[in-house]
Amino acid sequence: MTEDRGGVLPVMVGFLLVGGAMIGGLGMMLLQPPPAPEWAEVEAPVVDPAAELRARGERLYVPLSKFLDASLGRGQPRMEASLSVAVRGSSKELLALNTLVGGNIAQIEAAMMVEVLEVFGRTQDSAELHRELPPRLRDAINRTVGTEEWPEPVEEVLLTALAIYR
């Protein structure tokens, strides 16, 4: 029996054409730059500061147990004030803040007293004290206990009682 080479040649050419096309297509696919990941095309969400504050939890007002007591010297006016501070955070953040405040209470009181004496030395008018002291006290507290992750843990300071003795 003799082999018929006429039938094998078309089969080999067919395999070479199909295989060559597949190898060429695979090579072209591998040489193409990869497509950008889907997440790269998504725009960054717009951060709503009010929504971020709401996500931190409800605002809590915490009355301070100690009075601020400032005197300008013997025979000079004296001021006593009670304060509440407003904070907002998760339970974990508030517990950490409480620990931080407990460990830095002397520094906090000193920073607050610097602000009180500066403002009270300039004016003994209760309306001006109510207007000027709260933001300055808030900033003094935040400078003392604020962290990189939570730079302003105290959102607000309220003067809940104010007495000036002359």
Judged against a pLDDT cut of 80, whether residue 46 lies above it is answered with no
pLDDT at 48: 66
Question: In the Cβ-directed half-sphere of 84, how many Cα atoms lie within 13 Å?
Answer: 9
Would you state the pLDDT for residue 118?
A: 94
pLDDT given for residue 53 in this prediction: 57
- The answer to whether residue 75 scores a pLDDT higher than 80 is yes
Distance (Å, whole) CA 122 – CA 113: 14
Dump the DSSP string for 42-64. SPPPPP-HHHHHHHH---EEEE-
Kindly write down the DSSP assignment for every residue of 113-144, as one continuous string: HHHHHHHHHH---HHHHHHHHHHHHHHHHHHH
Mean pLDDT of all residues in the chain? 83
| Token pair 């920073």: residue | 111
* More confident of the two residues 87 and 5: 87
Average pLDDT of span 130-151: 94
Report the percentage of the chain scoring pLDDT > 90.
42
pLDDT at 13 over 70: yes
6-15, 62-71, 141-150: which has the highest mean pLDDT? 141-150
